[in-house]
Structure 1
């Protein structure tokens, strides 16, 4: 429900403003204080379509962004994974505030369990199936269960999509620590073909997906009078999203 609305907002804004992929994400520090930073929207989990789509494919409403394993927020999210996104779209004058839980997908060497069991609802409940054939066809059938998800494959998919400049940043010294390294330590690029180098291994080990499981959406539409505002909440009883129009 809310995902389709958000996707349309992103599409409408990206036509005129490429910076619409940036949003602010807040969480809590070790001391329980709020901390916020700007991150890049990397899409939704399961966006890579399978080679065989003759019958259909699965998609999800799990938002993806990325971080460096040695950033402060990795430790913070492992201790308390409550997050909130604030995302303003200047071209359509809309604001989204999305609350939920953040789950990390890191290199297996870090021994961080993948998000096989999510908060609030199972991973399967975040998935929807899009059939690719005529519903009246005899072959039409919606699978009752999605396939077991390969989180490492998903992480590799996003890593390989990075530009060389951003991929290189995952080889840099731990962010936020005192600067003790020479400029040469901060390499400017790491190309996709550099898969056998020590630096490529380092970059991949430091590359972490942040999977945001949304459980509440607050959307404000400011391009009309009076303004419009909508809440989207997940109903545990009916296993559905409920939309409510509220006062702006």
Structure 2
């Protein structure tokens, strides 16, 4: 794009994805687990491990149903149960930080940014996604702009149509059945009930059709996708003894500074 709004993968994302690819070749993990830091309702730090779903546009997180995989972004996604503590924390304070350590490559990555939550359309908290991702999305390969079979954008204006609900649905569908079932369970962090029927392990295996539909509806309603608008990145390569900090400017460009590890 030539308007200064849409560009290409920033340097930090290229580096991060490169490290992830190296780690995946050893562990087989699609995306490494990361620690998510938030501020709890009492103003204290709260940290837990999360499994990012990946960047919007990448893999199964295509931006629309008709997107053949032309688009990518630097918006990282996470998921959570609608009644988890982190939901209330993020609704109150959207600033977050994630940190991941890639043990086999010896790299630590910290991502700072702002979180926006997308609830299921049937959930009381559902609203239009606050984050305008059009400024965070660009063509994976510029040559794709010449493919007129997909009217995805005006190349000169970054007028990209994104379907946030489609992205949320794809994130849910690409969980294993066991993980999907967790979202039908009672609220996380509450005392566990003695009734095992409240904790199905795989919803498709429930024999009663009405019960199966009820749990499936609950799981989908409780599934929240979190979009992280990254604005600061700190990458430490312990094997090379290097550290680089990337900071997003007011627009979509980034500054980079080599600092001491």
Q: Same fold (TM over 0.5)?
A: yes
Conserved? CA contact 1:131–1:142, under 8 Å: no
Aligned to 1:171: 184
Structure 2 residue 15 is matched with structure 1 residue 5: yes
Conserved? CA contact 1:172–1:186, under 8 Å: yes
In 1: Cα distance, 2:129 partner to 2:254 partner: 21
Aligned to 1:40: 51
Instruction: List aligned pairs for 1:1-248, cutoff 5 A.
Output: 1=10, 2-18=12-28, 21-47=32-58, 48-49=61-62, 51=66, 53=68, 57-108=70-121, 109-116=123-130, 118=131, 122-131=132-141, 133=143, 142-191=155-204, 197-224=213-240, 227-236=241-250, 239-248=252-261
In 2: Cα distance, 1:181 partner to 1:202 partner: 20
Give the direction of change, closer, same or farther, for the CA distance of 1:134–1:15 in structure 2 (3 Å limit): closer
Conserved? CA contact 2:79–2:223, under 8 Å: yes
- Pairwise CA distance, 1:52: 5.9
Give the direction of change, closer, same or farther, for the CA distance of 1:191–1:159 in structure 2 (3 Å limit): farther
- Pairwise CA distance, 1:150: 1.4
Task: Give the TM-score taking structure 2 as reference length.
Answer: 0.82
Give the direction of change, closer, same or farther, for the CA distance of 1:131–1:18 in structure 2 (3 Å limit): closer
- Pairwise CA distance, 1:130: 2.9
State the aligned residue count.
237
Conserved? CA contact 1:58–1:146, under 8 Å: no
Structure 2 spans left out of the alignment, 5+ residues: 1-9, 149-153
In 1: Cα distance, 2:184 partner to 2:252 partner: 42
In 1: Cα distance, 2:140 partner to 2:199 partner: 44
- Pairwise CA distance, 1:132: 5.9
Structure 1 spans left out of the alignment, 5+ residues: none
In 1: Cα distance, 2:245 partner to 2:142 partner: 31
Give the direction of change, closer, same or farther, for the CA distance of 1:150–1:95 in structure 2 (3 Å limit): same
RMSD of aligned alpha carbons: 2.6
In 2: Cα distance, 1:234 partner to 1:154 partner: 25
